[in-house]
């Protein structure tokens, strides 16, 4: 996920990366490899084009997995780092015969170029193609508190509403940091984003194209930018089951 907070937030928008499953559709071990034309996550540009890979194990609704990406580049937040992001996640989800699903899990985001990390509790609900995803997390930021001189974790919240069909999908997301009670020099930050996607299988490869725009970006209660930023991302991947 990289460092999502900077002294001045400038965000683009889209979610490309691993997706926490609401249900173990295929039990057993699986893997995936792929590449994105740009690396975006929850409304923030985290790097340029990069290759990624993941490994998952699912059984009886329980899942555990890991995912990593070469995320060096010039993203709007934390760009210019040369190294890997590596994530781990676990949880449990299920779906009823009526099509109602839920998921509860835990995720952690680490990096080869810094000791900082983020970790979060993930909650999800789904019904008839619609989904609600909530993440309650902490960012172990290297910035020191202005009151104690020691590094403290920053609380954050993500809420996303989505719809997905066989080919098309859409997401509306909101992300915010709460630094008001931490004594940090950084100000509270928040942003929204909307994205539309289309995807399918082409020559045995999974391909998707996503377009979107960020809006409502604020830092310390003040608006940052006036018109938002448009983006487009191509994702090409291949999955394997064992």
Three-state SS string over 107-128 comes to EEEEECCEEEEEEEEEEEEEEC
CA angle 59, 64, 142 (to 5 degrees): 165
User: Mean pLDDT, to the nearest integer, of 5-15?
Assistant: 31
Whole-angstrom Cα distance, residue 70 to residue 78? 14
Q: How confident is the model at residue 137 (pLDDT cuts 50, 70, 90)?
A: very high
* Cα(153)–Cα(140) distance, integer angstroms: 4
**What confidence score (pLDDT) does residue 182 get?**
53
Q: Distance (Å, rounded) from C-alpha 237 to C-alpha 151?
A: 38
Average pLDDT over residues 1-5: 47
pLDDT of residue 155 exceeding 80, the answer is yes
Paired with 28 in beta bridges are 58
Mean pLDDT of all residues belonging to the chain: 81
| 23 pLDDT above the threshold of 50 | no
**Domain boundaries along the sequence of the chain:** 87-241
The per-residue pLDDT for range 164-175, each reduced to its tens digit, is 999 999 999 999
């Amino acid at each position: 996920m990289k460092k999502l907070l900077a002294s001045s937030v400038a965000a683009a928008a889209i979610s490309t990366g691993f997706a926490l499953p609401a249900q173990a559709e295929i039990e057993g071990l699986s893997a995936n490899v792929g590449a994105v034309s740009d690396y975006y996550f929850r409304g923030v540009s985290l790097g340029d084009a990069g290759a990624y890979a993941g490994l998952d194990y699912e059984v009886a609704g329980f899942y555990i997995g890991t995912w990593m990406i070469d995320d060096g580049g010039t993203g709007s937040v934390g760009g210019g780092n040369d190294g890997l992001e590596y994530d781990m996640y676990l949880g449990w989800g299920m779906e009823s015969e009526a099509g109602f699903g839920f998921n509860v899990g835990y995720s952690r985001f680490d990096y080869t170029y810094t000791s900082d990390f983020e970790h979060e509790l993930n909650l999800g609900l789904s019904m008839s193609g619609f989904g609600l995803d909530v993440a309650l997390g902490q960012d172990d930021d290297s910035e020191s508190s202005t009151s104690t001189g020691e590094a403290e974790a920053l609380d954050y919240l993500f809420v996303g509403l989505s719809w997905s069909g066989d080919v098309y999908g859409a997401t509306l997301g909101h992300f915010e940091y709460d630094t008001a009670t931490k004594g940090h020099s950084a100000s509270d930050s928040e942003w929204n984003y909307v994205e539309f996607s289309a995807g399918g299988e082409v020559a045995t490869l999974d391909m998707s194209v996503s377009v979107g725009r960020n809006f409502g970006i604020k830092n310390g209660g003040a608006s940052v930018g006036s018109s938002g930023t448009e983006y487009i991302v191509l994702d090409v991947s291949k999955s394997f089951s064992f």
